[in-house]
Structure 1
């Protein structure tokens, strides 16, 4: 019997949904002969294809994640042979992240999977009462307007 996360445990549900989606996407990449590619690499690859080599700070901004998260992703990608880190010619203190020849050679397969994933997500969204990305974007906007920690503090004060 498959146990499902407690519907009141939103963080657990979000992680579970991400594990289900990312796990299946990773399996598809492995089946397509790209086992070293992870779904979390896609925002970085998109940014590097669009912008060319970037410092980690700019890569993080393009990905919409923290500097630390972008740095960790770039390190994983480097271990997989998909990016290099080289000194920035305009500022020796910074290092640029760039796609390798291996990554560029894989782009047609990766981009084909992106399209298939988009189509699969559209199919999934059609089964939901509200598209998943819309709910998540609305959540980000709401928590940006009023951080969750403030909401928790208000709830605590309301009970006390």
Structure 2
């Protein structure tokens, strides 16, 4: 058994859980011969598969990440030859589309998605509530009242900064 982060180190604990989940999914990709495919690619690939080419900004919204995070993932997908970038209607807009190489991988990736979903349902059965439900509840609570506000309400005052 591996040592767990302190309960109060929630950020560390969340990163640890993500490393455990994504690390094993990455191992599955490697075992399937998909050495260039990363777990973070799947939401983007699934969105493009469902909706066709999208601007990065719309892709970020669809996947639920920042524009910066979507841009980084798209750059990695592009380096792996899984997406192509073209200029949109506005010269500043870049459209992201799946390549033939990505489409060729879809049967294997789709089988992995199905197996991963089944594994997650089995894991959820061991928990007091499904992980996605808990994370959704947490996200909604933090949108209602950001963690920064909660820290301030706990009594921490941040000194005013002065320019000069």
> What TM-score do you get using the length of structure 1 for normalisation?
0.94
Q: Separation in 1 of the partners of 2:80 and 2:18?
A: 22
Query: Which 5+ residue runs of structure 2 have no aligned equivalent?
Result: 158-164
Q: What aligned pairs does 1:73-88 form with structure 2 within 5 A after superposition?
A: 73-88=73-88
Give the unaligned 5+ runs of structure 1: none
Pairwise CA distance, 1:107: 0.6
Q: Could you say what secondary structure the match of 1:92 adopts?
A: coil
Structure 1 residue 129: Cα displacement? 1.4
What SS does the aligned partner of 1:156 have?
coil
Residue 34 of structure 2 aligns with which residue?
Answer: 34
How far apart, CA to CA, are the structure 1 residues paired with 2:150 and 2:144?
Answer: 11
1:120-131 to 2 correspondences below 5 Å: 120-131=119-130
Separation of aligned partners in 1, 2:26 and 2:152: 39
Residue 117 of structure 1 corresponds to which residue in structure 2? 116
- Structure 2 counterpart SS, 1:86: strand
| Structure 1 counterpart of 2:13 | 13
For residue 43 of structure 1, what is the aligned residue in structure 2? 43
1:57 and 2:57 matched: yes
Please list every run of at least 4 consecutive aligned residues from structure 1 whose deviation after the TM superposition is greater than 2 angstroms: none
Between the aligned partners of 2:106 and 2:26, the Cα distance in structure 1 is 15
Instruction: Confirm whether residue 105 of structure 1 aligns to residue 104 of structure 2.
Output: yes
Alpha-carbon shift at residue 2 of structure 1 (Å): 2.7
How many corresponding residue pairs? Answer: 157
Is 1:149 aligned to 2:145, yes or no? Answer: no
Give the structure 1 partner of residue 91 of structure 2.
Answer: 92
Deviates more, 1:26-35 or 1:11-20: 26-35
1:157, distance to aligned residue in structure 2 (A): 5.5
* Cα distance in 2 between the residues matched to 1:94 and 1:122: 38
SS in 1 for 2:21: helix
